[in-house]
Structure 1
Amino acid sequence: MSLSNLTRLLLLALIWGTSFMLMRIASPVYGPFLTTFGRASLGAFAIYLFARHRGIEFHWKKNAKTYLIIGLGNTAIPFSLFAWSALHIPSAYMATMNSLAPIFTAVFGFLILGERLSWLRISAFIMGLFGVAVLVGIGPVSVTPLVILGVLAGMGAAVNYGFAAIYTRMHAKEIPSLATAAGSQFAAALALLPFAFPAVPHAIAYGTIQAFISVLILGIVCTGIAYALFFHLISTEGASKAVTVTFLIPATASIWAWLLLNEPITPGIITGIMIVLLATAMSLGIFKLPASLKRTPTNS
């Protein structure tokens, strides 16, 4: 990877790492749906302007269904789930759940495309769940029903990312990536509008400058600029290298939250994160099994 792209990768990790902290600030004020609507709307316009500058065509009518399904699976549902979980669990927990996305992508590849699941990926799935259990069990937050639900919401977000990745691979091959990004964000914003609108009076009455700035950064920087960086990395270095940003996000999220929200970084958090990241690395094929163990289970 070139030095300039390595710099972009690190910058992307720093940007996406802040998103969990920012949701912790915005969601208690605006609620999960309005926070997510603001993020998706601002992100959509930012990506749209960049895509139009690049001369990208969107073909809205032809691609409407694809934009909608990807928008729901990759933005509206997972962003809302994370925004809700931000009310109950620390940033490090959310970032760790986010790291499970490549594992669930492999699962949906098996369920939808019939791709074989190697023993390594099956082991990765089990190890990922174990890492989550370790994180919750010995982390700094008391295990309460709301904490468990917050963790499950974060895992649900990762499940949606996994489905959206496979659907995008199946149905958006002929659509420019920036068009898919902008179109899906617009679709997500439209889908979220009826859920976000009831929270507007509360936001007007009790909104804070910190929450407002958090949503601005979430939309323009963490979604708009971040997507531009990510797709640049994909186009120049390939998806396998671009996705390594997954391994950096839990650390950057934990550091940002520790610096700005006084969220602790404990041995339990570090242990849980390391187990989940090891599982993710296995799922992505970074670690290989010996040849004698490479048999794959049948689908029967």
Structure 2
Amino acid sequence: MFPPLLLMALRFDVASLIMIGYVVLQSEVWWPRSRGDVLTIAAGGVLWTVIGNGVWYIGQDLTTSVFSAMMSSLVPVLTAGFSWILLPSERLRPLSIAGLGIGFVGVMVMLVPSGEITFAESLLGKAILVGGAGSISLSSVLIRYVDTSFSSSVQTAWSAALGAVLLHVLSPLLGETWSGEVPLMAGVAVAYLGILSTVVAYLLYFSLLQRRPSFEVTLMMYLAPVVAAIFGWLLFSEPVTPSMVGGFLLVVGGFALMKRQDIRAELARFGVIG
């Protein structure tokens, strides 16, 4: 099998070739024309692709898939926090700040369930995952902060391409080696990650963003830990500990407190409340 960074590089090789071909055929503006365009590609390529996805896989190798998925639930909370700092129009009110704090408490419960910090490989993996979640969140906010002529699909395609190149460079620098053999299942895994988990998933994501409120789309991120917990337990016998569940619920609760007005509006729209 491939080492983590090389696997991610190959994943984004496949995805970027398909997405760039798609945007060239579908978009009139597909080539970087301004400083803002370049900055969005850099933010997406470095923060989102390399750190948020590539380095994330290193952290996942040091812990479990269940914990990795639960860390993804931190992304909406951190995104709101970075928006509060960088986007003046999205300042948080006191209750929202409290929700942000509750979310971080939940993360600490999952990171250090015993309350004692022990510098082990698993703790390093958890810390890397937190950093990856922060990188994805910061990338999302910076892309919104920068003025660009790109559509989201064009920006995603170029970010994936830049990230693939950087991951190919970073892989040997960090000591990763590869025999050159490509077992059948390894090739299937790369194709699956590149086509279904990247191209198809991102196209569906952006399509949903155009059709549904961003709040509803964000909530889908909280399905990942549930699905990962079930399949991690069924396939790999990975434990789901009380600290994981408790920390996850605190993160979700913090997000709900931060987005209470959106939740109230959605409930009213469906007639749940008056």
Mark yes or no: TM-score above 0.5. yes
Please show how residues 194-213 of structure 1 align to structure 2 within 5 Å. 194-197=169-172, 202-204=177-179, 208-213=183-188
1:94 has 2:68 as partner: yes
Name the CA distance, whole Å, in 2 between partners of 1:231 and 1:193.
Answer: 27
1:250 has 2:222 as partner: no
Please show how residues 199-238 of structure 1 align to structure 2 within 5 Å. 202-204=177-179, 208-238=183-213
Give the gaps of 5 or more residues in structure 1: 1-28, 290-300
1:84 has 2:58 as partner: yes
Contact kept in structure 2, 1:35 and 1:83, CA below 8 Å: no
Contact kept in structure 2, 1:56 and 1:176, CA below 8 Å: no
Name the CA distance, whole Å, in 1 between partners of 2:238 and 2:99.
Answer: 28
Pairing partner for 2:43 from 69, 75, 95 = 69
What is the identity percentage for the equivalent residue pairs of Structure 1 and Structure 2? 24
Q: Secondary structure at the match of 1:30?
A: coil
Contact kept in structure 2, 1:105 and 1:163, CA below 8 Å: yes
Q: Which residue of 1 aligns with 2:168?
A: 193
Name the CA distance, whole Å, in 1 between partners of 2:29 and 2:215.
Answer: 26
Name the CA distance, whole Å, in 1 between partners of 2:234 and 2:262.
Answer: 33
* Change over 3 Å in CA distance of 1:179–1:161 after alignment to 2: same
1:240 has 2:212 as partner: no
Q: Which residue of 2 aligns with 1:48?
A: 20
| TM-score normalised according to structure 1 size | 0.76
| Aligned-residue offset at 1:150 | 1.2
Pairing partner for 2:91 from 113, 116, 119 = 116
Please show how residues 1-300 of structure 1 align to structure 2 within 5 Å. 29-52=1-24, 54-55=26-27, 57-62=29-34, 63-114=37-88, 115-138=90-113, 145-171=120-146, 174-197=149-172, 202-204=177-179, 208-285=183-260
Q: Secondary structure at the match of 1:86?
A: helix
Q: Tell me the alpha carbon deviations over residues 58-78 of structure 1, each in whole angstroms, 9 at most, x when there is no partner.
A: 123543332122211111111
Q: Which residue of 2 aligns with 1:15?
A: none
Name the CA distance, whole Å, in 2 between partners of 1:263 and 1:237.
Answer: 35
Name the CA distance, whole Å, in 2 between partners of 1:55 and 1:183.
Answer: 13
Deviates most, 262-271 or 247-256: 262-271
Name the CA distance, whole Å, in 2 between partners of 1:185 and 1:219.
Answer: 10
* Change over 3 Å in CA distance of 1:102–1:153 after alignment to 2: same
* Change over 3 Å in CA distance of 1:145–1:206 after alignment to 2: farther
Name the aligned partner's letter for residue 221 of structure 2. Answer: T
Q: Tell me the alpha carbon deviations over residues 270-292 of structure 1, each in whole angstroms, 9 at most, x when there is no partner.
A: 22222222222333346789xxx
| Aligned-residue offset at 1:138 | 4.5
Contact kept in structure 2, 1:31 and 1:199, CA below 8 Å: no
Give the gaps of 5 or more residues in structure 2: 265-274
Name the aligned partner's letter for residue 34 of structure 1. Answer: L
Counting matched residue pairs gives: 259
Q: Tell me the alpha carbon deviations over residues 98-137 of structure 1, each in whole angstroms, 9 at most, x when there is no partner.
A: 1111222222223223442222232222222221232244
Contact kept in structure 2, 1:51 and 1:179, CA below 8 Å: yes
> What do you get for the CA RMSD once the two structures are aligned?
2.8
Q: Secondary structure at the match of 2:230?
A: helix
* Change over 3 Å in CA distance of 1:118–1:173 after alignment to 2: farther
Deviates most, 86-95 or 206-215: 206-215
Contact kept in structure 2, 1:110 and 1:117, CA below 8 Å: yes
* Change over 3 Å in CA distance of 1:56–1:270 after alignment to 2: farther
